[in-house]
Amino acid sequence: MVDPGRFSTLSYLYFGWVTMREVELGNLAAVQRAAGVSFSNQIDAPIKDRDLDVVDDPGGLGPGTGNGGGDTLYRTREGIERFFITDINNPAATAVAQSEVPVMMGTASTDAQNFNHVPGGSNVLYMDGHADFIKYPGPYPVSRSAAEIIDTSNF
């Protein structure tokens, strides 16, 4: 049964690295486990201050599993969207890139009791400042695969 009055210690997720697809989120979770840190409460961990190398960092899934099919998971920061622009002849590409980078989201889960919003879905804040409600299951980051990664990880 869904209990709308239930409180949780973790209602919104901020990953801190750019994850635009499930494989990137899975890789972030794997590196976190290998480093033995919980991103939600160990803010002083050295792994938090840099981009992650998915080939050389422990727990990485290997070549091509970083952002844009590369070998790096980039730390979220202003201007990072320029690494994802594929059409340099389109001056509006930067604005489009920022509107596609999720920064923060309501908890997504395969268990309806863990959602902040009933019926199941999440508010997602994007890098350009806009927010969308995405009903579960939907596109990333509120997809079933992403919810399974979130359920089994200690974000």
Over residues 94-129, the pLDDT tens digits come to 656 778 889 988 888 887 777 777 778 899 999 889
Express as a percent the part of the chain with pLDDT over 90. Answer: 15
Domain boundaries, the chain: 13-152
Q: Give yes or no for a contact between 120 and 112, defined as CB atoms under 8 angstroms apart.
A: yes
Q: Give yes or no for a contact between 108 and 141, defined as CB atoms under 8 angstroms apart.
A: yes
58 pLDDT more than 60 = yes
Q: Which whole-number Å values give the CA distances from 28 to 36, 37, 47, 109, 117, in the listed order?
A: 12, 11, 11, 17, 25
pTM of the model: 0.79
